Amino acid sequence: MFKYPVLAAHCVHLEQEDIEILAQKAMGIAYNPQSNMKLASGIAPVAKLLDLGATVGLGTDSTASNNNLDILEELRVGSFLQKVDTMNPEVIPAYRALQMATIDGALSMGLGDRVGLIKEGMRADIILINTKEPHMCPQHNLFANIAYSANSADVNTVIIDGKVVMLDKVVLTINEEEVMAEVQERAMRLAGK
């Protein structure tokens, strides 16, 4: 049916037939829960898609429809939203939500052979999370702590393709203050101020 790989974004208005087509064709799906909530556009039937074997990755959409691009927050909200939508507290458990944010996100984008896992031959795209914060306690299940308690402020170190770009919360590749000042200036210009 589809000649080229497709990344289906949002997927909030799917009929059962659509869900089956997406699952059968092994297409990537970008689940953007906070964007969908902000725009009141609907809830993607992620649990049904996953049950049929669809590849569902997690996304934020963009700042046009999601002011906060915190993928860890997206992970938590996306998991919780599915629990509410299905009235099932066990749907999309922490480990599965983490898969959606990592390997399934890579697979959805056609990058599963390069990123999404930590293993030999893959690019070393890794974050280190500080788990010694009060909101990360108790530490009885690391997957649950990351999926349900962590946020972007807990990311201490970022490594992209094996290169450390942030260490101890200090970005090493750009001047953050200059970038934020430029963003503010451009936003004001766009707003006509």
> What are the residue ranges of helices labelled H in 92-191?
94-101, 103-108, 142-148, 176-190
* Maximum Cα interatomic distance, the chain, rounded to a whole number of Å: 51
Please give the pLDDT value at position 1. 62
C-alpha closest to that of 146 among 188, 94, 99, 78: 94
In the chain, residues under CATH classification 2.30.40.10 are 124-193
Task: State which CATH number among 2.30.40.10, 3.40.50.10490, 3.30.950.10, 2.40.30.10 fits the domain covering 124-193.
Answer: 2.30.40.10
Find out whether 15 and 54 touch, Cβ atoms under 8 Å. Answer: no
In the chain, residues under CATH classification 3.20.20.140 are 1-118
Interatomic CA distance for residues 27 and 91, integer angstroms = 22
Please give the pLDDT value at position 9. 93
Regions in the chain scoring below 70 on pLDDT:
1, 26
C-alpha closest to that of 48 among 15, 73, 74, 25: 15
Is residue 84 within a helix (H) or strand (E), and if so which, with residue range? helix 71-86
What lies within 8 Å, CB to CB, of 92 at 6+ separation is 46, 47, 50, 78, 79, 82, 83, 100
Task: State which CATH number among 3.30.1330.10, 3.40.50.300, 3.40.50.1000, 3.20.20.140 fits the domain covering 1-118.
Answer: 3.20.20.140
User: For the segment 9-46, what is each residue's pLDDT rounded down to a tens digit?
Assistant: 999 999 999 999 998 886 799 999 999 999 999 999 99
59-87: buried (b, 16+ CB within 10 Å) or exposed (e) per residue?
bbbeeebbeeebbbbbbbbbbbbbbebbe
Find out whether 75 and 149 touch, Cβ atoms under 8 Å. Answer: no
